Each structure stands twice: as structure tokens, then as C-alpha cells.
Amino acid sequence: CISFVEMKFINNTLYFVAENGDLESDHFGKLEPKLSIIRNLNDQVLFISQGNQPVFEDMPDSDCSDNAPQ
């Protein structure tokens, strides 16, 4: 579990900025075809906008499955 206050997306790596200012990261490269959904405590789903800014938006489970790759 990571408690974070901000996110940054740099070179295909999503960085989580922790409360103490340290960076935690995870690589979301496409090594294998798969679907990863990151959801916050408010049931909002993480998207990366066209400007590479991470944003959380409301999305019910039914929308997640409806929008999954075919």
C-alpha cells in the first residue's frame, strides 16, 4: 500500500510522491498484453491524459469491462 499526495508520469514510469516527499515508482510498460486498473479509495479510476498528466475519473465496474480491449 502506498500513501501518496501527488503523481508524476515521466518516460513511461508513474511516480507516486509520498507524504514525506520521496518518490515511489512502478513501470507500466507493455511487456505483455494486459489490462491494469488503478482505483483510488473513492472508486475513481486512474487515467493518463494526452498531456501525460495522471487524473482520477469516475468509472463504474461495468464501464471498465465495456471499455476493455477486444
Q: Using an 8 Å Cβ cutoff, are 26 and 18 in contact?
A: no
Alpha-carbon dihedral angle through residues 40, 41, 43, 47, given to the nearest 10 degrees: -10
State pTM to two decimals: 0.43
Task: Report whether pLDDT(3) > 60.
Answer: yes
Looking at residue 26, its pLDDT comes to 61
Looking at residue 65, its pLDDT comes to 66
Domain count, the chain: 1
Average pLDDT over residues 4-20: 74
pLDDT tens digits, 24-64: 666 555 555 555 667 777 777 777 666 667 777 887 777 76
Q: What does the alpha-carbon distance between residue 37 and residue 11 come to, in Å, rounded to a whole number?
A: 19
| pLDDT greater at residue 67 or residue 11 | 11
